[in-house]
Amino acid sequence: MKLYHGKWKYVRRYYKGNQIALINWALSLKPGDYFSSCAGHNRQVKSTRPHWSNDGRFRYGRTNKHWFIWSVEIIDTLNGFHKCDGSGCAMPAESNETIMNNYREWIELPHFSERMDRIAKAIKSGKSILNEHGELLTEFQ
């Protein structure tokens, strides 16, 4: 899918760093694929939708005709909303080892939720909190 309508020379200034690569990756996701969410573990894709934007400027009394995909909205199987725009809310899926290492670091920090207490207790006892795809098991969600 083309990332823009109009002239690329006007649109390219809105993309920063690896944002184009991330948006292309998110556009390639299909229902059933997995991605790493801002919740700290992988989630399964239910649907995706590109978010078109325009800089909103007027020139000589006419509207701007240059539109571009600013982000991709991803809905997971638990109906969670994630936005892939380069900010880190939706990234390519991580391995179980990486996710577990992150949780081991997080349980050392002060936490005030019953859910994190259950996760910390399970990790310290050696119990797995993830399934084979890197999603949290239902008892920890």
- pLDDT band for 59, please (50, 70, 90 cuts): low
Tell if the pTM clears 0.75, that is, is over it.
yes
Domain of residue 108: give its range: 96-140
Average pLDDT over all residues of the chain = 88
> Do 83 and 102 belong together in one domain?
no
**pLDDT tens digits, one per residue of 6-36:** 878 777 788 888 888 999 999 999 999 999 9
Domain termination site, one of 76, 92, 108: 92
- pLDDT band for 66, please (50, 70, 90 cuts): confident
> Do 63 and 112 belong together in one domain?
no
> Do 76 and 104 belong together in one domain?
no
* pLDDT reading at 86 higher than 90: no
> Do 79 and 108 belong together in one domain?
no
What separation in angstroms does the CA of 117 have from each of 30, 38, 78? Answer: 34, 19, 22
Place of tokens 């991330």: 22
Instruction: Of 7-21, 88-102, 105-119, give the lowest mean pLDDT range.
Output: 7-21
Number of domains in the chain: 2
> How many Cβ atoms are within 10 Å of 55's Cβ, its own excluded?
12
Phi, psi of 117 (to 5 degrees): -65, -40
* pLDDT reading at 82 higher than 70: yes
> Do 85 and 107 belong together in one domain?
no
> Do 86 and 136 belong together in one domain?
no
> Do 62 and 117 belong together in one domain?
no
> Do 11 and 78 belong together in one domain?
yes
> Do 65 and 127 belong together in one domain?
no
> Do 74 and 25 belong together in one domain?
yes
> Do 73 and 110 belong together in one domain?
no
> Do 79 and 132 belong together in one domain?
no
Which residue, among 54, 70, 62, has the nearest Cα to 10 in the 3D structure? 54
pLDDT score for 134:
93
